[in-house]
Amino acid sequence: MFGLNISTTHSLLRALTLSAHGALDRVEYRTDVPAPEPGPGECRVRVLAAALNHLDLFVVSGLPGVTITPPWVLGADAVGIREDTGERVVINPGISDGTCEYCRRGEQSLCVRFRLLGEHLPGTIAEYVVVPTHNVLPIPDTVPITEAAAFTLATLTAWRMIVTRANVRPDDDVLIQGIGGGVALAALQICKHIGAHVWVTSTSDAKLERARALGADETINSRTTDVAREIRARTNKRGVDVVVDSVGQATWDASLGALAKGGRLVTCGATTGPMVATDERKLFWNQWSILGSTMGNDAEFASVVAELSNGNLYPPIDSTFDITDGRAAFERLAGAEQFGKIVIRVAEQ
């Protein structure tokens, strides 16, 4: 009876929504979004806080083949209370079907019907979100709400890139292009835990300084310096073993130009544009590996949540906004001035 009352009370939700694809003025705070109901194998999470990813900007402007029904709830990352167990949980926003050949071998982010919260399914910046039960994992109360909200997508993506795909070792030199975004900062932290020697680039000296405080060994301003040439100069012409590049078009040439013989370039995105040209002779002669990566599988989700729970990996936080001011959070992200994650408080404080 009591449960029924709670459900009725929350039949309309506060949420940050999209009225139509377009510019950021289509991002709207609303108080009349219908509450989602869990089906078999699903649970409902009362969201405490959510966080933004670059992906959310692509959702606003519109992605090929993706249609939305307004008011569309935005957001992929969140922390909240799982209603049926009362546990504090973080959410893995990658939803897999569990039945295809890739899911059956445990590679959920290769699922042929892979979907994302906020992109293909209603998102997390709302009082309630419904997800499959295997997409949530409990975390201890010792983890701050803000860090938990901002953790999953960026850290999971970086973990698969660094640990699984590029297989970074303690004696590797790793270049991370464009430090400041969530994936790049998570990659920096993971590489330092492994013990690698980490190089970072940015067009901002302030961001480079902050990255150094987080453990970056070498910093290069890519606005004032030729990154590949500088790395060759500082490594006796050798180059680095691994490049982590989610910038795309703007950094591709410098990334390959910095790569040592036998090096690995791993990419999870292309925020400055997706079309790149490569001299194939350099690719085979230097025996480079170009590795694509996207999000992570269930085992990797469990690995990163364990690191969050024991305090080894906390995402740097740029700023926190209330859900009523959610459009300002999107504007902050679009301005690319942030260092770390942008968090949105959802539950009333």
Question: Which residues of this protein are in contact with Zn ion, per CB under 5 A?
Answer: 96-97, 100, 103, 111
* Residue 32, token pair as written in the block: 């009349």
Kindly tell me which of 103 and 184 has the beta carbon lying closer to Zn ion. 103
Kindly tell me which of 37 and 101 has the beta carbon lying closer to Zn ion. 101
Minimum CB separation of residue 297 from Zn ion in Å reads 11
Kindly tell me which of 97 and 307 has the beta carbon lying closer to Zn ion. 97
Placement of tokens 């036998």 in the chain: 262
Minimum CB separation of residue 108 from Zn ion in Å reads 7
Minimum CB separation of residue 344 from Zn ion in Å reads 30
Minimum CB separation of residue 96 from Zn ion in Å reads 5
Kindly tell me which of 97 and 322 has the beta carbon lying closer to Zn ion. 97
* Residue 251, token pair as written in the block: 């950094």
Q: Which amino acid is at 102?
A: Y
Minimum CB separation of residue 152 from Zn ion in Å reads 19
Minimum CB separation of residue 97 from Zn ion in Å reads 4
Kindly tell me which of 93 and 182 has the beta carbon lying closer to Zn ion. 93
Minimum CB separation of residue 112 from Zn ion in Å reads 6
Kindly tell me which of 133 and 309 has the beta carbon lying closer to Zn ion. 133
| Secondary structure of the chain as H, E, C letters | CHHHHHHHHCCEEEEEEECCCCCHHHEEEEEEEECCCCCCCEEEEEEEEEECCHHHHHHHHCCCCCCCCCCEECCCEEEEEECCCCCEEEECCEECCCCCHHHHCCCHHHCCCCEEECCCECCCCECEEEEEHHHEEECCCCCCHHHHHCCHHHHHHHHHHHHHHCCCCCCCEEEECCECEHHHHHHHHHHHHHCCEEEEEECCHHHHHHHHHCCCCEEEECCCCCHHHHHHHHCCCCCEEEEEECCCCCCHHHHHHCEEEEEEEEECCCCCCCCCCCCHHHHHHCCCEEEECCCCCHHHHHHHHHHHHCCCCCCCEEEEEEHHHHHHHHHHHHCCCCCCEEEEECCCC
Kindly tell me which of 93 and 239 has the beta carbon lying closer to Zn ion. 93
Kindly tell me which of 38 and 98 has the beta carbon lying closer to Zn ion. 98
Minimum CB separation of residue 125 from Zn ion in Å reads 26
